[in-house]
Amino acid sequence: MNISSNLIATEQRLGANNYKPLDVVLTRGEGVHVWDTDGKRYLDCLSAYSAVNQGHCHPKILAAMVEQAGRLTLTSRAFRNDQLAYLYEELAALTGSHKILPMNSGAEAVETAIKAVRKWGYEVKGVPEGQAEIIVCANNFHGRTLSIISFSTDPDARAGFGPYTPGFRIVPFGDAEAFAAAINANTVAALIEPIQGEAGVIIPPAGYFTRVRELCTANNVTLILDEIQTGLGRTGKLLAEEHEGIEADVTLIGKALSGGFYPVSAVLSNSEVLGVLKPGQHGSTFGGNPLACAVARAALKVLTEEGMIENAETMGAYFLEGLRSIRSNIVRDVRGRGLMLAVELEPEAGGARQYCYALKDRGLLAKDTHDHTIRLAPPLVITRQQVDWAISQIEKTIT
């Protein structure tokens, strides 16, 4: 048995069986590439679900992490540290936020937003205690906690974990009229992904978010956009909301906020929603720690200063055009925005996973989602030459 076989066997023997990864054991990463334990190089077209937008092991983020790790890593929020205020300033300047609450994982950011908008609903909007409702969309993915899976429509994510948290109303994604019909006097918020990533890169019809924004404003409903996967350059804009020229009341970011070095997330808000939280009502030991803040500051800096967002827009359009030029009778649809792309296969193709294994053998790592879709999301530093190579491997695999 070689080293990778040994490691896979140990994982299967000792680990909980809650993931089904492709059988490749990675040991090193740089830029758009990763290497396995046998020394084989791959083009990473998943970017850890968009957490490594800046590329693997970006040297400037690494330097910031090492420097801060040698000075101070954690104080808890019982005391102040000299990095948090700077992160607040830089995030506010970049996104126009008035209030910021730092957490660790994306799911924690979602839970934070749910708590805050419910409290806002009771204390500001005047919804009767315990009656707050949040509108969410079918086929959403916002995380794995109990409250979040309570409003999932994915049986794998939800089944067997009840009793479920009440207070959510599910409507079809992209249907503004269904959204309008779901609003009532107890609606405190809507929680939506600008593009549904886990569902297979589902892009809503043009004008959908403009209408949702109008409806939220007219009915005093807080619009929460989950930009944990779509935000920070992935779609060719800093935030995906910019494609429709709208502004959310609350924006959730995570993943690429640390460039893949450390779990960092944040709730970005107007003053009204986060303003309802008082000391002792919500928090996290690690949220806003100095190491996280230093890493996030460096991650944001390289993202904006090194032209990664613009590159995502240019290379994304080029990649999409190349994928659409592939002629294959098993391709049902090709879609995307920026470097968030998907190739959906016909059901008779036999599932996307086998094609992901074939791509792995050719040196390209991608992940299947919802049985028939190959999702493609390379780091935002990808070059035209690398996109050409990726398209050629995909073409050879699916024709």
Query: What string of DSSP letters covers 122-142?
Result: IIII-PPTT--EEEEETT---
Per residue in 264-323, pLDDT (tens digit) is 999 999 889 999 999 999 999 999 999 999 999 999 999 999 999 999 999 999 999 999
Which pLDDT value is given to residue 271? 87
**Count of domains in the chain?**
2
Q: Are residues 54 and 122 in the same domain?
A: no
Per residue in 46-73, pLDDT (tens digit) is 999 999 999 999 999 999 999 999 999 9
Domain that holds residue 23: 3-58+307-398
Has 255 been annotated as catalytic?
A: yes
Catalytic residue from among 226, 237, 360, 367? 226
H/E run at residue 352: none
Sign of the four-CA dihedral 238, 244, 245, 249:
negative
Has 141 been annotated as catalytic?
A: yes
Q: Are residues 135 and 254 in the same domain?
A: yes
Q: Are residues 35 and 102 in the same domain?
A: no
Catalytic residue from among 44, 141, 249, 319? 141
Domain CATH number, residue 177: 3.40.640.10
**What is the average pLDDT across 239-245?**
97
Catalytic residue from among 99, 237, 255, 367? 255
Has 261 been annotated as catalytic?
A: no
Domain CATH number, residue 316: 3.90.1150.10
Percent of the chain having pLDDT more than 70?
100
Q: Is the pTM of this model over 0.95?
A: yes
Which pLDDT value is given to residue 173? 98
Backbone angles phi, psi at 112, to 5 degrees: -60, -45
| Both structure tokens of 209 | 């978010």
Which pLDDT value is given to residue 349? 95
Q: Are residues 256 and 389 in the same domain?
A: no
**What is the average pLDDT across 352-367?**
98
Q: Are residues 73 and 159 in the same domain?
A: yes
Q: Are residues 352 and 300 in the same domain?
A: no
**Residue 124 to residues 31, 42, 137, 222, 252: CA-CA distances in angstroms?**
47, 52, 25, 12, 21
